[in-house]
Chain A
Amino acid sequence: MKPRIRTYIDGFDSILNGGIPEGHNVLVVGTPGTMKSSVAYSVLYNNAINNGTKGLYISLEQKRASLFDHMRSLGMSPETVKDRVSVLDLSELRKKMRDAQQDVWIDFLQMYTKSIKKGFDYRLLVLDSLDAVEALAKFDDFRMEFFKLLKWFKSLGLTTFIITEMPGVSSPIMSSPDIWSSFGKHKEDYLADGIVFLKMEKRGDFEVQRRIRCVKMRSVRHDTRYFAMVFDGGRFQVTRIMA
């Protein structure tokens, strides 16, 4: 059995039968406000704290300072793990490289992931977000390019979390019958080794509950049900949904 990467989300690792197999590419899919970035960062943060595993967080849209502020507000101090979790702020580069051609962004991504790996042996990678990569690179053949990108990450021996936006509940796409079988605009969900889906569920007239579901995790016998996800005391926790 492949070594597992624990998510350190209380209760979720047992749902995943121990964690995410090392080397997997996992899509973290969710509607806005479901804490996708926070969940992904918390995986890097907690792995760095608990077992010293190094991680790289690539942000294409949110600035490093803004991300750090947000994480601090959640009780995850970036300073505590500054030598084990690196945040690559590509939004800065986007400003500098306004004239960059579309296809060069993947080259940039590859250059950074490779050169950082040489001096900072990270094993976990968060790419925030796939939609931003798509907007920048404007792939002709998204699926093939995404396939190559995943292959690149695999060749570096990384366990990758790729954050993917899903339209909100008011979007017409959410009422489509396909929504339960598709977690990517270009069927990238078929290429990924795993999919973790986050959504907001309305409860009663006023309350909204965050829910998490492991849709797919290759080579793992996992629970496919929805679980309630709460953030409390600086930690994410999942619990069975009470009817």
Chain B
Amino acid sequence: MTPEFVLVLVISVFTLAVLVAGILFLNQGRMKTLFVALHILFLMVNISWLVGRQLHENGLDILTLSSTVMVFPVVAILVLAFFHGRSFTGRIYLPIMIFLPSLGIVYVSVVEAWTSSDLYDHSVFIYYIVFCLAISLAESIAVWLRSSILRKEGYLLVLSLIILLVTGPIHYQELRILSADDFIGPNLGFPLSGVAILMALLRTDHPPVSVKTKRRTQENALRFLPEPGRLHFVSEARPKYSRSIFADELDNGKAGLVLASSGMGQSAFRSRIRNAATIEVSFTNGKDSIRAWDLGRVYYCIRDFASAHRNGIVLVDAFPLLVYNNDISSARELVSSMRSLAKRTDCTFLVPLSLLTSTESSRLVVSGDSMMEFPDVEIKVLEILEAHIGNLSRHLLRKYCRSKGIAIKDLLLEDVPDLALWIMNTLDSLGVRAGDAAMLRNWKNESYSTSLDLMRFCNSDIEEAQRLQADPPFTTESLIPQVVYAGMDVPPGTRTAKATKMSEKAMREGLLLVFLKYFGEAGRFVLARELGELNKRLDSLTVADLIPLADRAQEAMMDFGEIVDIENIRTDMKSKGYRMRDEIVGLVSEGGLA
């Protein structure tokens, strides 16, 4: 056994080990087949050389030769299939066109009695490997330099191809110069090249996405599962549901890409998705950022990801920023491209519509699109709580959110079942402290009815989603809500809300609506301010308080008008003040309290 023999034997064992690792750990069918085929060729090149040399059998040289020839087209096909996916392998003539010349060269080599020792001397073979390596290297380098998502894979494949180039034709020339013809034939770089290819394939096979973070409601989880292979618009006041769904899907093992706006900052969501690929939509093109008006690059980035991670999930969090920085027709084109990409790749696309106007939204959504609509949970929950427990509600809600490490504004529908249980337990424990049996009974009823109303709100939203799914309106609802929560023992005869409370509630709601109508969103503050001036609380407001409140509201409107220097606006605001006063006074009869 010569040292060369031992070296090639060791190399072959390593190549075999890489092959076994690939068989064990790779999942993607097509890429796995190509990887195995390539490694069988790698092994054939070296083992046929070893065996032929051992047996002094020149007939085995044809195996070394043909395997050497076929290695290069198979590598090229593997690289192209890796980057282009089905768009390359689906056009079967393309791989055939790349592979077919290798069969021709093998045929010619048999006819012309070429040997593996002089294979590289024939220009037709040199041209062929230049062709194969050039296309695969060009693709890999382009991806390495330009793709934000597959950069590392591109780098690994470039490395692998350079190893093949150095240990193949270049090493051959060295051996010829050194007159070491006996050692021509085997390739020492196969295991290294194989490891680089395996690493690239494993990166896309097993994206590091499963982040173990503290889930808010593990056992009482209400989850929304978007249908795969579709684009889903998410209608929400703030981009919290789309983010939550995205993070849930990542936890389920899906590979994810998020096109984030810089406003996302270092939020809890960021930490939850830290293993997802993140591209920042900003105002400069950079390593991990894309300019907001470069929609072409945005699309290519998404396409790269979707092609490499079939059945993955893409959150276009910065969609409003993209719409704002481009005209609406370009945004529509992007949406349309994403729609077809979702179909082709089975990827799920989440497009939040928060911050967009209804006109913009309506121009982007077309008939048949999936639209997920979510309520402002924190507002609804607060309304329910206030109807039952008055001013304790905000305090309790804040306490609950603090215990979960979230802000009130980040409350989700999925938190409601857990919140309902928490509220019930908390109110019960407060009642126990009171110690009075009669009070405790009422208190328990109140705690049950509060929780029940919260659960009803939660379920009604699910029912609405299911109704929409069964009977889609203009847009198709594709929510698949799954609600799982611990059963609640509700005593028979438990009331949900007192009739008188409802009337008061209606009056308070009406009051807030009047303020919102005249002052816009500032109405909440103005109402609170005027109530404060009267030393009153909204929950304890009586009919007698409405008249002075109406007077104060009128004054406030006039005060606001005073700083305007246009006479007709000032007059208009004055008359608005009168109208507002009338509407507030009119609530007395509407609320059924007169």
Contacts and interface: CB of A to CB of B under 8 A. Distances in A.
Nearest to B520: A111
Contacts of A114: 520
Interface in A111-126: 111-112, 114-116, 118-120
B355 A104 contact: no
B568 A120 contact: yes
B10 to A, nearest CB: 55
Chain A interface main SS type: helix
Nearest to B525: A104
B128 to A, nearest CB: 50
Interface in B495-551: 519-522, 524-525, 529
Chain B interface main SS type: helix
A190 interface: yes
A155 interface: yes
B565 A82 contact: yes
B311 to A, nearest CB: 31
A87 B565 contact: yes
Interface in A33-91: 64, 82-83, 86-90
A141 B566 contact: no
Nearest to B526: A104
B355 A111 contact: no
Interface stretch (B101-109, B163-171, B261-269, B456-464): B261-269
B590 interface: no
Interface stretch (B28-36, B63-71, B556-564): B556-564
B93 interface: no
Contacts of A93: 560, 563
Contact of B265 (A90, A92, A97, A141): A141
A90 B522 contact: no
Interface residues of A, number: 37
Nearest to B323: A151
A111 B520 CA distance: 6
A86 B566 contact: yes
A155 B357 contact: yes
A89 B569 CA distance: 14
Contact of B520 (A97, A110, A116, A151): A110
Contacts, number: 78
Interface string A92-105: 11001101110010
A165 to B, nearest CB: 21
B566 A143 contact: no
Nearest to A68: B565
B522 A104 contact: yes
A108 B566 CA distance: 17
A148 interface: yes
Contacts of A179: none
B572 interface: yes
B261 A111 contact: no
B525 A144 contact: no
Interface in B306-363: 321, 324, 355, 357
B563 A119 contact: no
Contacts of B573: 115
A119 B570 CA distance: 10
- In this complex, which of A87, A101, A143, A144 has the most chain B Cβ atoms within 10 angstroms of its Cβ? A144
B326 to A, nearest CB: 11
A107 interface: yes
Interface in B214-261: 261
A185 to B, nearest CB: 14
B563 A90 contact: yes
Interface in B396-439: none
B525 A119 contact: no
A221 interface: no
Given A99-B529, A111-B520, A119 B569 contact: yes
The 6 A-B residue pairs whose C-beta atoms are closest, nearest first, are A190-B283, A107-B522, A144-B263, A107-B521, A104-B525, A111-B520
